[in-house]
Amino acid sequence: MRFTFFSNANMPKSRPTLRSMFQRIHLMIIAITLLMAGIPLSVLSVFTLKSYAEHNLQLVAATISYTSAAAVVFGDKPAAQDALTLIAKKEQVYEARIYDQKKELLASWTSPTSMRLTLDDPIRKWLLPKMVVQPVVSENEVVGYVTLTAGGATMVKFLSNLLLGLLSCLVITALLSFWLVRRMHTGIVDELQNIAHVARLAREKREFSIRVRPSQIAEINELSRGFNSLLREMELQHADLMIENDQLSYKALHDPLTSLPNRSNFMSMLESMNMMQEQICVMFLDGDGFKAVNDTWGHSAGDHVLTTIAERLKTLVGKNDLVARMGGDEFSILLRHVVDQDDVMQVIEKILKAMRRTIYLPNGEEVFVSLSIGFTLSNAGSTPAELLEKADAAMYHSKHNGGGWSFS
């Protein structure tokens, strides 16, 4: 036993739609544009903020230096500590220290955030000045120093807001992209979908009369015109083919001389009858003396006699009944909705009366041709083969008796 294995690699992949491709392209273009504009702007903003932080740190150092000058001169550590703490805790300072002239520490202050790991540390180390040194001056003499290290809280807040702004812009850009694509490319996609819809109707339902509507877009309109021209040619070819098929079908089911249904057509009609619901009559008719007409005046005269008989028989039956030429000078009639034998006899009497009329040949000669008739009636258990056999036997019985009609 052989097994066939299928993998996902062999499965056909779904192809992206034109609308989704437009959306992705627009989103990529807008995102790249946003990044190209946002990154330089962000870098410029960071460096501007860094410059501002350096300048602000210098001002804070100068303020602490001025405020603590007296404490430094007199070596008053508590006063120096109070002055340092009062100012440093209000500013973006990570660490602040005051030294005397001998560079001995008088006061120090460290931001409470230094006791825990935060984003301030890497930002302070990477983007802010490491330390600002400001001399403490009293009466034009340097009496000490103030050292400050900037804190990164402001920078962290700025960068957080900047990142949030960029993400918000990306989300808004994505939504705007979808809206723009829907707005700008609806015409293109709808026009192409219309062409695809018309092509599908033409392929699946053979509706070649439908046409693609004109487009406001020049290229698509040219495509639509070319497609409509192709549909027009296909429509004409399809119409010619249908006519040819109808002609072939007609020829296959009709006698070429008399235009009556042929044997195949008669058999199909007989086999389609539901004899459980209606009673029918199958009648066979054969020409008497027809061979003499052919032998005396030729086959063209015989053809004229056959067409005359066909025309007379067609006028004697109802619209739901069927007259067929079985071959040669043999005809058959299928009568529907027959109540009893009297209905059939009325038709036979009309046929016999019609055939008593003279048939005039094209050369002016007069001929008389009679018909030997055999018929049978169906019942609920009748089969087409049985009815044909009985009608044929009845027709030959009538012929052997010199004409007229016979029932089987």
Half-sphere exposure of 16 (CA within 13 A, CB side): 8
Positions of E strands within 73-201: 93-100, 105-110, 132-138, 141-150
For residue 68, report the phi and psi dihedrals to the nearest 5 degrees: -95, 10
**Residue carrying the six token digits 């030729």:** 298
Q: Which of 255, 286, 321, 329 is catalytic?
A: 329
How much is the pLDDT for 19? 66
Strand 370-377 to strand 404-407: parallel, antiparallel, or no bridges (unpaired)? parallel
The predicted structure's pLDDT at residue 355: 92
pLDDT of 88-119, one tens digit each? 777 777 788 989 888 888 888 887 765 444 55
What is the reported pTM? 0.52
340 classed as catalytic? no
Question: Measured between alpha carbons, how far is 99 from 106 in angstroms, rounded to an integer?
Answer: 5
What's the pLDDT score for residue 360? 92
Residues of the chain with CATH 3.30.450: 18-163
Q: Which amino acid is at 4?
A: T
Residue 34 phi, psi (nearest 5):
-65, -45
- Retrieve residue 342's tokens: 């009297």
The pair phi, psi for residue 137, each rounded to 5°, is: -115, 135
CATH 1.10.10.10 fits 263-407, yes or no: no
Classify domain 18-163 at the CATH topology level.
Beta-Lactamase (3.30.450)
Which among 123, 134, 62 is positioned nearest to 99, based on CA atoms? 134
Q: How far apart are CA 305 and CA 331, in angstroms?
A: 13
Give the residue range(s) of CATH 3.30.70.270 domains in the chain. 263-407
Please give the Cα distance from 254 to 258 (Å, whole number): 8
Place of tokens 């005359």: 308
258 contacts: CB under 8 Å, gap ≥ 6:
306, 307, 310, 325
Q: Which residues contact 267 (CB under 8 A, 6 or more apart)?
A: 384
Confidence at residue 52, expressed as pLDDT on a 0 to 100 scale: 74
How big is the chain, counted in residues?
Answer: 408
pLDDT at 117: 42
Cβ-contact 179, 44 below 8 angstroms: no
- Residue 91's identity, in one-letter code, is E
Q: How many CB atoms lie within 10 A of CB 152?
A: 25
Q: Which residues of the chain fall short of a pLDDT of 70?
A: 1-14, 18-19, 22-23, 34, 38, 49, 113-130, 151-156, 158-159, 170, 174, 177-178, 180-187
